């Protein structure tokens, strides 16, 4: 399965033979996704804002109204800085000069190894300089239904917005659309199904996102059960890749079923916030999932446990739970049946309905802790 962390590349090249050569080299690998090949330099700055590539390759010999060096300068001075690799020939050498917008140089003729290494190098340098953009994808997951996962995901997203993160909430239950029901969204409201299947641009997202009164954006699941089959893992990966570039926090309300779509969400996540309750069957399923995650190759630091209804132990002690999980859970959220049920019935987040309530304060602390985690955690070992 391809990774949502693919490097998104835009090639600006007006010589068909060169662009075809680059396409051929990139077809043999999976680390880099070629978004588009553009021949008109005057249209590139707008396309960069729309497609949000990670890296742009510009031919130094680009012809037209906007020549190669002019385009490099425009990209350097643009509102959204993007690493630029200049493609040139030995007869017209170009020196790398990040201050001038030239992050690296690729000299023709070049091999696929040269191309991939150069793109990965400038992308990594950019990520290091920007602190990985500060964006985090958080999947709220539970190995069993009925533990309050969707409620926590919704309120966590709102709490992240309250602590200063531009936040989007994605309904990962593509078949049953839990958030659509919780928020009483009209049946004809757009969903992830309305995004294009070839490539997703920021304008496409603006057309389908649900603007919740709480201040967060929500990407809904399809309105009909059978429509979930129309969403592929590649659709999910492309969408998450763009969301990460736009939002400071991406919260995903996943399903309990570890199918391809759910695994695509979890693979892309910096943190899997796994809910557990003081319930023997939930704890049993949590242990099974922990084994599955180890087999997949997720590092232990990728998963953080949240004990929901932490004040309702039901005869199971915190020490018993810690022994079962193999560690102390990172987060605890107390119960408040009256507030939570009433807020859910009204389609509003309880963190806004009563910010001073202990359950609201607990969720806010979870949000603050997740943001304080800083740069994304280590990527999973799952291979493409």
pLDDT at 233 over 90: no
In CATH, what is the architecture of 7-129? Answer: 3-Layer(aba) Sandwich (3.40)
230 neighbors 193 (Cβ within 8 angstroms): yes
Mean pLDDT of 149-164: 95
More confident of the two residues 384 and 312? 312
Mean pLDDT of 205-234: 90
In 3D space, the residue among 148, 166, 163 whose CA is nearest the CA of residue 209 turns out to be 166
Q: What is the pLDDT of residues 72-94, one digit of tens each?
A: 999 988 756 789 999 999 999 89
Alpha-carbon distance 248 to 336, whole Å? 29
- Please tell me the number of Cα atoms within 13 Å of 117 on its side-chain side: 8
In 3D space, the residue among 8, 123, 111, 14 whose CA is nearest the CA of residue 58 turns out to be 14
Sign of torsion, CA 354 360 365 368? negative
More confident of the two residues 31 and 11? 11
Superfamily of domain 133-372: P-loop containing nucleotide triphosphate hydrolases (3.40.50.300)
More confident of the two residues 128 and 53? 53
Residue with tokens 């742009």: 56
Alpha-carbon distance 98 to 2, whole Å? 31
Q: In this predicted structure, which of 173-177, 218-222, 238-242, 266-270 has the lowest mean pLDDT?
A: 238-242
Cβ neighbors of 110 (< 8 A, separation 6 or more) are none
Q: Residue 204: which pLDDT band, with cuts at 50, 70 and 90?
A: confident
Give residue limits of the domains in the chain.
Answer: 7-129, 133-372
pLDDT, residue 2, reads: 37
Instruction: List the structure tokens of 347.
Output: 């389609």
Alpha-carbon distance 246 to 129, whole Å? 18
pLDDT at 6 over 60: yes
Determine the straight-line distance between the first and last CA of the chain, rounded to whole angstroms: 4
pLDDT, residue 80, reads: 64
Burial class (CB in 10 A: 0-12, 13-18, 19+), 100: middle
pLDDT at 168 over 80: yes
250 phi/psi in degrees, rounded to 5: -120, 115
Q: Residue 135: which pLDDT band, with cuts at 50, 70 and 90?
A: confident
List 304's β-bridge partners, or say none: 273
251 neighbors 171 (Cβ within 8 angstroms): no
pLDDT, residue 127, reads: 66
Q: What is the pLDDT of residues 352-361, one digit of tens each?
A: 999 999 999 9
pLDDT at 199 over 90: no
- DSSP E strand boundaries for 7-83: 7-12, 32-38, 55-59
- DSSP E strand boundaries for 96-165: 104-107, 136-141
pLDDT at 229 over 70: yes
Mean pLDDT of 227-232: 90
List 88's β-bridge partners, or say none: 107
Q: What is the pLDDT of residues 54-73, one digit of tens each?
A: 899 999 999 989 999 999 99
In 3D space, the residue among 138, 137, 368 whose CA is nearest the CA of residue 275 turns out to be 138
**Do 7-129 and 133-372 come out as alike in CATH topology?**
yes
Mean pLDDT of 305-313: 93
pTM above 0.85, yes or no: no
230 neighbors 194 (Cβ within 8 angstroms): no
Instruction: List the structure tokens of 59.
Output: 């031919």
pLDDT, residue 374, reads: 41
Helix, strand, coil content of the chain in percent (nearest 5) = 45, 15, 40
Mean pLDDT of 286-306: 91
Mean pLDDT of 127-156: 84
pLDDT at 280 over 50: yes
């Amino acid at each position: 399965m391809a990774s949502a962390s693919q490097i998104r590349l835009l090639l600006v090249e007006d010589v068909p033979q060169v662009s075809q050569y680059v396409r051929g080299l990139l077809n043999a690998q999976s680390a880099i996704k070629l978004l588009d090949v553009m021949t008109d330099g005057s249209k590139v700055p707008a396309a960069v804002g729309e497609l949000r590539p990670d890296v742009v390759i510009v031919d130094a010999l680009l012809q037209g109204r906007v020549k190669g060096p002019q385009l490099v300068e425009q990209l350097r001075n643009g509102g959204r800085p993007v690493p630029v690799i200049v493609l040139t020939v030995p007869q017209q050498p170009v020196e790398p000069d990040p201050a001038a917008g030239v992050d690296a140089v690729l000299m023709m003729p070049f091999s696929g190894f040269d191309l991939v290494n150069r793109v990965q190098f400038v992308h990594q340098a950019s990520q290091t300089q920007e602190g990985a953009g500060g964006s985090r994808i958080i999947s709220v997951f539970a190995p069993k239904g009925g533990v309050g996962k969707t409620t926590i995901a919704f309120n966590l997203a709102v709490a992240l917005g309250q602590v200063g993160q531009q936040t989007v909430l994605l309904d990962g239950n593509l078949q049953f659309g839990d958030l659509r029901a919780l928020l009483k969204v009209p049946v004809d409201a757009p969903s992830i199904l309305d995004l294009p299947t070839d490539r997703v641009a920021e304008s496409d997202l603006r057309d389908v996102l649900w603007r919740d009164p709480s201040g967060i954006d929500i990407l809904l699941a399809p309105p009909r059960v059978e429509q979930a089959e129309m969403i592929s893992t590649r659709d999910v990966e492309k969408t998450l890749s763009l969301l990460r570039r736009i939002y400071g926090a991406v919260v995903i309300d996943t399903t309990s079923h570890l199918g391809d779509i759910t695994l695509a969400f979890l693979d892309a996540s910096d943190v899997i916030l796994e809910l557990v309750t003081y319930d023997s069957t939930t704890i049993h399923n949590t242990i099974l999932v922990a084994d599955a995650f180890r087999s997949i190759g997720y590092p232990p630091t990728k998963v953080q446990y949240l004990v929901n209804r932490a004040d309702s132990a039901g005869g199971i002690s915190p020490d018993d739970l810690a022994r079962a999980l193999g560690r102390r859970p990172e987060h605890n959220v107390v119960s408040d049946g009256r507030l939570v049920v009433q807020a859910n019935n009204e389609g509003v987040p309880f963190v806004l309905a009563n910010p001073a309530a202990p359950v609201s304060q607990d969720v806010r602390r979870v949000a603050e802790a997740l943001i304080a985690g800083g740069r994304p955690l280590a990527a999973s070992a799952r291979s493409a």
